[in-house]
Amino acid sequence: MEKVAILFNPSSGKGRASQKRRTLQKCLKENGVAYDWFESRHEDDLRDLVKVTAADYQTLVAAGGDTTMLIVINEMMRLQADNSLGMIGLGSCNDVVREFEIHSLKRACAAIKRNRFRRIDLGMAIENGKVLRYYPGQASIGLAVLINQYVERVVKRRPRLGKYQTLSGLSGGWQALRSTDLPMDLTVECESGIFHGEFVLAVFNNIRYYAAGKMATPRARTDDGLLDAFLVKNCSFSRLAYITFLTPPAAYSEKKETVAIQAPRFIVKAKKPFAVQIDGEILAAADTPRQFKKIEFASAPRALKIIS
């Protein structure tokens, strides 16, 4: 096989990816993958590496977390590059690679060796007709954004707590539900109707998984031209925990607190501004979370070639 370009982000997984460098290189060698190694120093550097390698390698391999995949994919879309993309999950959540059943190093390296690609849809976050982000996984509003911000603050103060994200997430969820930011008065419009109410969470998923392995939208497919919305109405912390941890995925839509919708496009409106999280990254300007009163989420059918 021709050489592939490995784009390695050592800062993924709160910096733990750097500890997996030798293990990854060993796995690539054991699977007979011919590669050149490119290691990023920061996010802008990673974007530059995509631009440099896309011209010389037919297959790029993003090795990092969900945010690494997001950066590489958006740079590929900006360049209109039709390279194949391999993915090696080294982050904290790894929901994107889990969707394609390449969430272990062994499986990911074996897939890269086979080098067979297929086309998948991407989600798009759109404002005033402009695509702000393409995303392979999910966009979310409300609770997920607040939990993310809480966990980041906790880990910044006490880095060792980065190993206990579930515990930090539960604490963040408790704090978020007690805040004045929730519930959100949202209106969600799509081809199947208009949904209005007070919600604590709104997810617009391109894959089945969400929040480090929870199968929130089991009907989601990455090649159907649709996004799967999952809305959670205002409810108590205990009820939310029950829905999240004790409800089988197929039964989510049966709960009175939840709304599940499939559509190619959603328009979300609110009177009170809200922030948006895309595959773990909060949309920001100058390191400050952007605030929206209206945003669209849509499917971009067969927009990307992936190795799986």
DSSP codes joined into one string, 250-282: GGGGGSTTEEEEEESEEEEEEEEEE-EEETTEE
Q: For residue 46, give the CATH number of its domain.
A: 3.40.50.10330
Q: Which neighbouring-strand residues pair with 118?
A: 306
- Does one domain contain both 104 and 214? no
Average pLDDT for residues 31-48, to the nearest whole number?
93
Mean pLDDT of 204-209: 94
Per-residue pLDDT band at 20 (split at 50, 70, 90): confident
What is the distance between the alpha carbons of residues 142 and 148, in angstroms, rounded to a whole number? 10
| Segment 142-191, tens digit of pLDDT | 988 888 777 676 556 665 555 555 555 667 677 777 788 899 999 999 99
Its domain, for residue 294, covers 130-302
Rounded mean pLDDT of 232-261? 84
One domain, residues 298 and 194: yes
Q: How far is 244 from 76, CA to CA, in rounded Å? A: 34
Q: What is the mean pLDDT of the chain?
A: 88
Do 211 and 297 share a domain, yes or no? yes
- Whether 84 and 196 map to the same domain: the answer is no
301, pLDDT greater than 90: yes
Q: Which of 115, 142, 165 is the last residue of a domain?
A: 115
The answer on 263 and 208 residing in a single domain is yes
> What tokens were used for 118?
């297929």
Q: Cα angle vertex 278, ends 67, 106, to 5°?
A: 35
What pLDDT was estimated at residue 14?
A: 62
Query: Are 170 and 290 part of one and the same domain?
Result: yes
> Is 177 in the same domain as 279?
yes
Residue 255 pLDDT grade (very low, low, confident, very high; cuts 50, 70, 90): confident
Q: pLDDT per residue over 90-123, tens digit each?
A: 877 788 999 999 988 999 999 999 999 999 999 9
Cβ of 302: how many Cβ atoms within 10 Å?
Answer: 14
Of 115, 150, 170, the domain-final residue: 115
For residue 170, what pLDDT is reported?
65
In-domain check, residue 120: no
140 and 262 co-located in one domain? yes
**63 or 156: which leads in pLDDT:** 63
pLDDT at residue 63, as a whole number: 93
Domain assignment present for residue 255? The answer is yes
Structure confidence at residue 150 (pLDDT): 74
180 and 228, same domain (yes or no): yes
Q: What is the pLDDT of residue 1?
A: 64
123 inside domain? no
What's the rounded Cα separation, in Å, for the pair 75 and 169?
30
DSSP annotation string for the chain: ---EEEEE-TTTTTTGGGGGHHHHHHHHHHTT--EEEEE-SSHHHHHHHHHHHHTT-SEEEEEE-HHHHHHHHHHHHHHT---EEEEEE-SS--HHHHHTT--SHHHHHHHHHHT-EEEEEEEEEEETTEEEEEESSEEEEEHHHHHHHHHHHHHHH-GGGGG-HHHHHHHHHHHHHTSTT-SEEEEEEETTEEEEEEEEEEEEESSSEETTTEES-TT--TTSS-EEEEEEES--HHHHHHHHHHS-GGGGGGSTTEEEEEESEEEEEEEEEE-EEETTEE-EETTEE--EEEEEEEEEEEEEEEE-
Weakest mean pLDDT among 39-43, 192-196, 227-231: 39-43
Q: Is the pLDDT of residue 213 over 80?
A: no
Does the residue 125 lie in any domain? no
Q: What is the tally of structural domains in the chain?
A: 2
pLDDT mean over 198-215: 89
169 plus 239 within the same structural domain: yes
Rg (CA), the chain: 19
First to last CA, the chain: 16
> Is 106 found in the same domain as 28?
yes
Q: Which of 89, 115, 141 is the last residue of a domain?
A: 115
230 lies in the same domain as 169: yes
Report the pLDDT averaged over residues 207-236: 90
Q: What local confidence, expressed as pLDDT, does residue 280 receive?
A: 85
Query: What band does 61 get if pLDDT is binned at 50, 70 and 90?
Result: very high
pLDDT at residue 216, as a whole number: 81
